[in-house]
Structure 1
Amino acid sequence: MRVPVRHSLVTRLLVTSVLIAIAATTATAWLATTTATRAINQERGRSLTDDKGVYDMLVEYAATHEDWSAAASLIHERAAALDRRITLTTPDRRLIAESGGGPALDAARPSATVDPLDLDLTLTGGTDRIDPRVVGPYGFTTAERKELRVVAREQRDCVLKQGLDARIEQEPGGRPRVVVSGPDQQAVDRVSLGCQSKLTGYVSASGRRALAELSLAVGTCLKLDDPEQLHVTAAGTMFVAPTDGREPVAVAEEALLTIDSEGKAARNCLDRERRAQLQPYVAPPALLFVTDPRTGADRTTFTLSRDNIVRIVTVTGAVLLATILITVLVGRRLVRPLRALTDAADRQTPVAVTARDEIGHLARALRDSAQRRDRAEAQRRAMVSDVAHELRTPLTNIRSWLEAAQDDLAPTDAQLLNLLHEEAMLLQHVIDDLGDLAAADAGTLRVHREHLRVRETLAHVVDSHRGTAQSSGVTLVIDVVGEPVVDADPVRLRQIVGNLVSNAIRHTPAGGTVTVSAHGATVTVADTGVGISEENLPKVFDRFWRADESRSRSTGGSGLGLSIVRKLVEAHGGTVTVASAPGAGTVFTVALRVPEKD
């Protein structure tokens, strides 16, 4: 008698598998899309390539114009090229110019502040906060430019006669500059010195007047008795004219240090007065907003194209179809022995098994026994395989480097010794972990208890792991209530907490937090990491188990750390528990014994 299709195990298994597959593929597709969107948004948020181009363009404009009246055309052209909305406002957010309408930007964060007299060094990558293109009163007349070009050509010809290459470049202020190149720096320096001209120190007539005004302003700022004694050069250096007839340069440093022992006040005065002098020649500071023209956000939201949607649907359908086919095949294979047992029962053979009699119970007991045996054998094989896997890589590396050294393919130097030492330390780490577990299994693991202050131990562990946490972008926090004391081995307790902290750091993404806390005899290590699924929680203390099946050290250590934690805690007479959920982080709680009162 055959079972109706609606009650068939194949049907139930098929329906269950299809529902699981649909849920899994839908969740996977959603997760992949969400993850990709977040990653691209983060990358676009961090990438300032387009924003920097807009910033450089507007800084150049501001450095060469006294207002923003002609900036609209530049903004429109760049916005069209980038498909972005570019808005320029005053510091109090009154509109100056924008490429197009859109949502209000009252609460938006500006991309940068455009001020050629106070550059954003994170965008420019330089060290000078005043843009070199701000010429102000230091520009050259047509006659002065002509004279400088003649001098530059003479200097270039002098260099060429010495057998080196030279070219004339134009600086932002209109001053020509001769760039010398040659086979070695000594020759370049020697020829450059021999062919020096007045290009570098030449100051225009208006520039000399501006320097005199600047010198007087800086001297007044420094509150000198005679501000006219202070002189500022075109290169930005300062000196105080001597009163004893000596050359100014000979006493420049000595005189300035007499006025300002560290030179900071003089430099601050010079920067402030330079900005005040150049302010009328540049456009006023403005806030720059580079946003999405549709949403007003400062980044563009990633959306799936039609091709990507079709691709995801196709892959999802293929996975679903493959799941159905595999489920049917597996289901038929599972049903075949049941049908054989049913036929044997119809023939009244001794192998008849039902779920309602002793034979059925025996069959289930035998099945359970076989499953336990298979699990034990699988665990044994997995442990042997894992031990071999953990030992094979460092041994192979050591052997490869030694053979390379024997064949003179690698130098026998400190670098090779360091490599061999690192691999040997990996072997030692695995062997030590296995030794601790073997001692725990044999009941020979000993702990030397004493009255231990928990705060000092946790602080030591946190300090030793702070460098690893910082390199991973994880914040490490310690929180101890009062001054708890426990009955524990100090070395083993550091090992317990250290294993938990390193495990938490490893599974916490950048920007997360790992908190080590203690209250009474309870020590807790909590993280804001990826979490552990409910079905994997019972496995976290198994040997060589990792959530990442690839068993890579980049996502896990030797796979023995948590097993050692459990054994060490049990050796102390305590307990260790774990609570976690995917995406909600993980909390390990270690409960130790409180010292008995004398």
Structure 2
Amino acid sequence: MSRVPPHRSLILRLLVTSVTIAIAAVVATSWLAARSTSQTIRQEIGQSLSDDKSVYDELLTYAATHKDWSGVRPLVADRAHKLGRRITLMTENRQVIVDSTTGPSLDLARPSAGVDPLGVDLALTGRTERIDPRVVGPYRPTAAEQKELRRQLDESLECVRSFGSEAIVTTGPHGRPKLAITRMTKEPYLCQLVPELTRSERGPFESLRKLVAACADEPDVTLTPDLIVTVVDPVKGVPVPDRTERAAQCLDGARYTQLKPYVAPTALLFVTDPGNPVAPAASPFSRQNLVRTGTTTAIVLVLAVLVTVVVGGRLVRPLRALTEAARQPSGYKRVPVTGKDEIGYLATALNELAERRERSEEQRKAMVNDVAHELRNPLTNIRSWLEAVQDGLATVDGPLLTRLHDETVHLQHIVDDLRDLAAADAGSLRMHPEPMYLDDAIEQVADVHQPSAAAAGVSLTTSFTGDPEVVADPLRLRQLVGNLLSNAIRHSGPGGTVTVRASAGAGRMTIAVADTGAGIAAEDLPRVFDRFWRADESRTRSTGGSGLGLPIARKIAEAHGGGLTAESTPGEGATFTATLTNRGDT
């Protein structure tokens, strides 16, 4: 075996790849570590709330439910004790509201966040609305109104379920229940999903509507209970898109103005360390760190080289065995399957390929022998008669021409059959379906075969269920039935009966050809559709056919989306049933 050039060696390529990956991994890790260390050194105390976002959330909840910060000290002290941090709240002009402990001045420090329930930090909370939903303001229904709202929503819930959808009733901080769709099957367009405003809500709601109208400079603005703003043209009675959009932009500002007296004022939040500042970390580019990084890199490279050599050697050995097996002249040598990895799968695939090649070669040889045998008889007969004419032993008269013509026609039939089978094997057996009456097509084929049936002493009958119109290829369908009839007549014998039955329905059509011949032995039944196969090998082609009719019939049935099956009881005859797709019903 020729040696592989070093630059194409699998081991060398694996080695180069492994070293490249190791270098890239070490460089990337070192860069990330250096960047992370640098960011840690530059980070100011209290710049982020990543240590505990709950501090901001709890203070935001307090601000949304109180009008001032007078009672926030116990909350700040509790959170500072649990976190071990210093928590400070200041006004916007840097006046201390509450401080969990004494420490350095924070006048010039950067705040961790601004606590404002009417201007929530969306990046910190992940929410989509600037106004905290826990701000109630003047919109708290009385207990009786809440009970009535719940009753209305229970009716709406039943309405939604009548449309096949699902919903739940939830209650927010303001005590007003609402309906939330959880599964939408059909839009409940007849259901009232948002209850009307209660008496205690109408005043504040009207004030909010007027604030929006004043901001948008509109004489009238429509505002629904679920806060949808619309400006309607008083003449046409339809919404005006641009004016509606301008009014909708005023909604947040109007809500801010209305809710401002009900929440605590904006405060600056500082979360810092209570003790001394943290000493700066060692520089990532110091001599000690550089030595440590270099040593680690060298160890990783050495390990990568050793692992690559070992693994590469184990990979190459089975690959060489596969290469030697593939280079065998016959190509049929089996290779051992050493594992369940990719190489093991490759070995299994090569073994299966070798088996398929063996079977294909055997089938090819059998096919060539069968074709040669089939063509030899008519060609020998033609040659014999022509040589007899040349030698003066026969004269060119009508009977001789008829014999030569019959042999030529038989030869043409064999060639046509082989062509049809080759087209079917290649997937190019084209079908041209069109509407047709199944009974008429079968009657035509039966009429054509009546003379041959009479000559063989066989009674040929047909039986139909109705007169169905189907969609199929009429030429191929007649060819299928003709092949089955020819086979049945040939095997029935004098005094026998051949019956053709046909029916159609539910997108399928069935054609069955039954004979009363000697039947087929159980061990021979699986081979009836093999090419050139005959149960009685002593039959001549004049009585046994070409051996291609049944395989062609099955291919035609399969091309129609169906199949062909055979059933037989020895001594009682055989039945061939073709089931085809009726394309007119699909």
TM range (shorter): 0.3 to 0.5
Q: Which structure has greater helix proportion? A: 1
Larger Rg: 2
